[in-house]
């Protein structure tokens, strides 16, 4: 998709509260405790903001107030600075993509007609709409020539969800609302859809408000995560790493789970942490020189590299017996970890290969350092003075630190 399509808007909640009327019985007409309570937060343009929390905590309500399917009891929601109540709901909604868990494709319309829904409401001409439909189907990885004329019930659950995303994106809305979009598909398809969506978002750069009750999905998908607690109160609004590292209170700590340290492994990349150094030696180089390098390195086993600096294997003691280094390997340089690997995958490689450390290579295959179990465990260590700071991490609307992020990258 071309760059001029990249448009996104800031979404801002300003002291938003929603109370549903108790519908029946003795309490008829009385306001209930509140599904959303005095919510203030700002979603920067072009970012994925996840609303997460236990069932009934007000995630869906929060999301549906943005496109006015639900009207707040009090407070203001602004889109790119503009109060959403300023335009008629129908017009507003045509500017906001909407994806729900059950997808809600129109069963009586073909895939093409489904995707064309909003362009037609906006009275685009036929050829522009057709071109757009094909572009959108391509974008979500569905061959238009195959799927254009099919009906929703001829698709699998994952395919329907993709069409749902294509339909929501068709009129290029600056904001997308997604309510548990991948909740109804099996775990393998979900993982695939999540990855595809993240790749897609890199191209389209929309502002996305994404509801889930799955903290793992939140950590994976979110640029920012809003944790809501029952009663619709914002418990913490932070980046995934901050949330895992510095949960604001016990509720958030419980919600992110006892394994939050492990979850952080999925967020950090090998390039983000301080690696060990190892001596690199080449076959035929003087042993004295090699021994000097070994003394300076973090580990005392040298790595044999080829002429391009690519690791070949760990040198055995016998390789250093003569005048010159002989390429006698104690073991091959395996597994090879890459700088862009997330720590979780790198750790899995180490454990699977039953080694304590392994070489890390840059994109050219040259040695960049050594990753060890110790290095990983150090990276998980949270400086105690920063643990449990709450207020500074909850960023209310209008916070300067957040405003700086508003400009799309």
Nearer to other proteins, 115 or 320 (CB): 115
Q: If binding is defined by CB under 8 A, does position 123 make contact with other proteins?
A: no
Among 3, 90, 307, 352, binds other proteins (CB under 8 A): 90
Whose Cβ is closer to ligand ATP: residue 35's or residue 185's? 35
Residue closer to other proteins, measured from CB, 49 or 115: 115
- Quote the CA–CA distance of 58 and 127 in Å, as a whole number: 41
Residue with structure tokens 């609302």? 177
Q: Shortest gap between Cβ of 350 and other proteins (angstroms)?
A: 42
E-strand ranges in 344-399 read: 357-361, 367-372
In whole angstroms, the minimum distance from the beta carbon of 65 to ligand ATP comes to 10
Site for other proteins in 142-171 (CB under 8 A): 150-151, 153-156, 159, 164, 167-168
Q: How far is the CB of 59 from Mg ion (least distance, A)?
A: 5
**Residues ≥6 apart with Cβ < 8 Å to 208:** 47, 48, 49, 175, 176, 177, 178, 201
Nearer to ligand ATP, 155 or 227 (CB): 227
> In the complex, what is the shortest distance from the CB of residue 152 to ligand ATP, in angstroms, rounded to a whole number?
23
Euclidean distance between CA atoms 172 and 187, whole angstroms: 29
Torsion angles phi and psi, residue 375, rounded to 5: -60, -40
Give the H/E segment covering residue 261.
helix 260-265
Query: What is the CA 237 to chain-centroid distance, rounded?
Result: 15
Binding site for ligand ATP (CB under 6 A): 20, 35, 55-61, 213
Q: Is the Cβ of residue 152 or residue 164 nearer to ligand ATP in the bound state?
A: 164
The two structure tokens encoding residue 206: 């929309």
20 vs 124, which CB is nearer to ligand ATP? 20
**Interacting partner of 154 out of Mg ion, other proteins, ligand ATP, none (Cβ under 5 to 8 A depending on kind):** other proteins
Nearer to ligand ATP, 58 or 205 (CB): 58
**Preceding amide of 146 cis, omega within 30:** no
105 is a site residue for other proteins (CB under 8 A): yes
- Rounded to a whole number of angstroms, the minimum distance from the CB of residue 72 to ligand ATP is 12
Cα atoms in the 13 Å half-sphere on the side-chain side of 203: 11
Q: Report the Cα 278 to chain-centroid distance in Å.
A: 34
**Residues 41 and 226: beta-carbon distance below 8 Å:** yes
Partner interacting with residue 58 (select from ligand ATP, Mg ion, other proteins, none; CB below 5-8 Å by kind): ligand ATP
State how far the alpha carbon of 13 is from the alpha carbons of 42, 395, 403, in Å.
Answer: 6, 11, 14
Using CB under 5 A as the criterion, which residues of the chain lie in contact with Mg ion when the complex forms? 60
Count of chain residues binding other proteins (CB under 8 A): 35
Q: Is residue 255 at the binding interface for other proteins, with CB under 8 A as the rule?
A: no
The structure tokens listed for 362 are 């840059």
| Cβ closest to Mg ion, residue 60 vs residue 67 | 60
CA distance 191 to 214: 13
* CA 178-184-187 angle, 5° bins: 110
Distance CA 151, CA 326 (A): 68
Among 201, 226, 214, smallest CA distance to 263 is for 214
When CB distances are held under 5 to 8 angstroms depending on the partner's kind, the choice from Mg ion, other proteins, ligand ATP, none that residue 61 binds is ligand ATP
**Binding residue (CB under 8 A) for other proteins from 21, 27, 33, 106:** 106
294 binds, among ligand ATP, Mg ion, other proteins, none (CB under 5 to 8 A by kind): none
- Contact between 197 and other proteins by CB under 8 A: the answer reads no
Task: Give the largest CA-CA distance in the chain.
Answer: 95
Interaction of residue 42 with other proteins, rule CB under 8 A = no
**Interatomic CA distance for residues 128 and 175, integer angstroms:** 22
Query: Cβ 205 to ligand ATP, closest distance in Å?
Result: 26
* Closer residue to other proteins in complex, CB, 33/89: 89
* List of residues contacting other proteins (CB under 8 A): 67, 69, 89-94, 96, 98, 100-110, 117-118, 121, 150-151, 153-156, 159, 164, 167-168, 177
């Amino acid at each position: 998709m071309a760059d001029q399509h990249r448009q996104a808007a800031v979404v801002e909640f300003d002291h938003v509260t929603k109370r549903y009327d108790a519908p029946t019985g003795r309490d008829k007409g009385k306001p209930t405790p509140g599904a959303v309570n005095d919510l203030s937060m700002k979603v920067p343009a072009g970012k994925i903001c996840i609303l997460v929390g236990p069932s009934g905590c007000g995630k869906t309500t929060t999301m549906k107030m943005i496109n006015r399917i639900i009207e707040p009891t009090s407070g203001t929601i602004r889109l790119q600075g503009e109060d959403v109540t300023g335009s008629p709901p129908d017009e507003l909604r045509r500017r906001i993509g909407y994806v729900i868990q059950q997808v809600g494709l129109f069963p009586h319309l073909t895939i093409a007609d489904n995707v064309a829904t909003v362009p037609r409401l906006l009275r685009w001409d036929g050829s522009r709409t057709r071109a757009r439909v094909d572009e959108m189907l391509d974008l979500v990885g569905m061959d238009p020539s195959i799927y254009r004329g099919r009906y929703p019930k001829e698709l699998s659950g994952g395919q329907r969800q993709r069409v749902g995303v294509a339909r929501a994106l068709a009129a290029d809305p600056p904001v997308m609302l997604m309510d548990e979009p991948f909740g109804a598909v099996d775990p393998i398809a979900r993982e695939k859809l999540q990855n595809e969506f993240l790749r897609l978002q890199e191209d389209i750069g929309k502002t996305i408000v994404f509801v889930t009750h799955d903290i793992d999905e939140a950590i994976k998908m979110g640029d920012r995560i809003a944790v809501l607690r029952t009663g619709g109160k914002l418990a913490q609004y932070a980046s995934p790493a901050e949330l895992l590292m510095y949960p604001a209170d016990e509720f958030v700590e419980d919600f992110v789970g006892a394994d939050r340290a492990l979850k952080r492994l999925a967020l950090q990349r090998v390039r983000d942490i301080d690696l060990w150094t190892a001596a690199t030696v080449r076959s035929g180089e003087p042993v004295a020189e090699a021994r000097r390098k070994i003394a300076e390195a973090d580990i005392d086993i040298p790595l044999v590299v080829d002429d391009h600096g690519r690791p070949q294997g760990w040198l055995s003691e016998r390789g250093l017996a003569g005048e010159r280094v002989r390429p006698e390997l104690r073991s091959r340089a395996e597994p090879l970890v890459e700088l862009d690997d997330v720590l979780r995958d790198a750790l899995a490689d180490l454990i699977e290969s039953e080694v304590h450390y392994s070489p890390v290579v840059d994109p050219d295959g040259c040695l960049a350092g050594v990753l060890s179990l110790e290095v990983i465990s150090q990276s998980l260590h949270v400086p105690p003075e920063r643990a449990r700071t709450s207020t500074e991490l909850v960023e209310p609307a209008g916070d300067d630190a957040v405003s700086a992020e508003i400009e799309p990258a």
